[in-house]
Amino acid sequence: MIIVGERINTSRKLIEPAVREKDAGFIKEEARKQREAGAGYIDVNCGTLVEDEVERLAWLVRTVQEEEEIPLCLDSPNPEAIRAALKVCKGKPLVNSITLEQERFSALLPLFKEFEASVVALTMDDQGIPETIDDRLRLAEGLINNLTKAGVGIEDIYIDPLVRPISTDPQTALLLVETVKIFKKKWPEAHIICGLSNISYGFPLRKFINQAFLILMLQAGLDAAILDPLDQNLLGLLYAAQVLLAKDEFGMNYIRAYREGKIEI
């Protein structure tokens, strides 16, 4: 399971002032804690700072990777911010995200070819958010066909079925589970990713909704998620579910996570 640590996001009240004030020590500590907790990528997002997102995102990349080449997920819908971040990024990043929105797709596609980045392919187009499984399948097919035709390897594509809050539609989780099953069967070499906490927006004690949703999605075939790796209850459920789903032979990853203090009561 590929964990993308979500904590360096200026929508969080402690992160925005740290980015505005260029508090490098605070940002580096957030990255370090997530990496040590098991994150395979550290997401960097300063989308609330629209007026100077291009400069701020590049600063975040340089800051997080100043002492160590930590794999990054560059999170922005702004092609110029992504380009600036890619120019200073070490290693192979994951870019979040491209869609089939014509303007966005045309602006971002050349960057993947130039910088050889992996990409989150978000199932959305100029018509807006998809409503059905068939809509998501059509959009995923269009994204994968266009990306692979342009030279992006199928193993570098992370399909995102687009998680909507269950508070807006009681059938959302069931629809997404079925969608992920179809995606995994149709494109076994691609990754399936989602922003886990989107499902619980509008609910109290959101962590319980997130935890239950993670288990359902893992069973369906999810193999990457944007989440908080410092949530030890969530991580414990993730490792335990992988044992039960035969994705962790003899529970070795579970045992290692316990010994390293990544999961505990």
Mean pLDDT, 10 residues at a time, the chain of 265 residues: 97 96 97 96 97 97 95 97 98 97 96 94 96 97 97 97 96 97 98 96 96 97 97 95 96 95 85
Query: What is the predicted pLDDT for the residue at 265?
Result: 72
In a 3-state reduction of DSSP, which class is residue 53?
Answer: helix
Burial (CB < 10 A; 0-12, 13-18, 19+), residue 240, is middle
Q: How far is CA 76 from CA 27, 80, 102, in A?
A: 18, 9, 16
Query: What is the predicted pLDDT for the residue at 150?
Result: 94
Distance of CA 265 to the CA centre of its chain: 26
Query: What is the predicted pLDDT for the residue at 113?
Result: 87
Burial (CB < 10 A; 0-12, 13-18, 19+), residue 146, is middle
Report the alpha-carbon distance of residue 76 to residue 3 in Å, rounded. 18
Query: What is the predicted pLDDT for the residue at 53?
Result: 97
Q: How far is CA 45 from CA 11, 42, 74, 172, 180, in A?
A: 8, 10, 7, 26, 25
Query: What is the predicted pLDDT for the residue at 178?
Result: 98
Q: How far is CA 166 from CA 4, 160, 190, 197, 215, in A?
A: 22, 17, 26, 11, 16
Query: What is the predicted pLDDT for the residue at 159?
Result: 98
Token couple for 249: 């032979």
Token couple for 105: 């797709």
How many other β-carbons are positioned within 10 Å of the β-carbon of residue 55? 13
Spell out the alpha helix ranges (H) of the chain: 15-20, 24-37, 53-64, 79-88, 102-115, 133-149, 172-186, 206-220, 232-244, 252-259
Report the alpha-carbon distance of residue 179 to residue 230 in Å, rounded. 28
Q: Is the pTM of this model over 0.85?
A: yes
Of 128, 185, 193, residue with least CA distance to 157: 193
Q: What single string gives the DSSP state of each residue in 211-246? A: HHHHHHHHHHT--EEEE-TT-HHHHHHHHHHHHHTT
Q: Angle at Cα 221 formed by Cα 220 and Cα 224, nearest 5°?
A: 125
Q: Say if strands 41-45 and 118-122 run parallel, antiparallel, or are unpaired.
A: unpaired
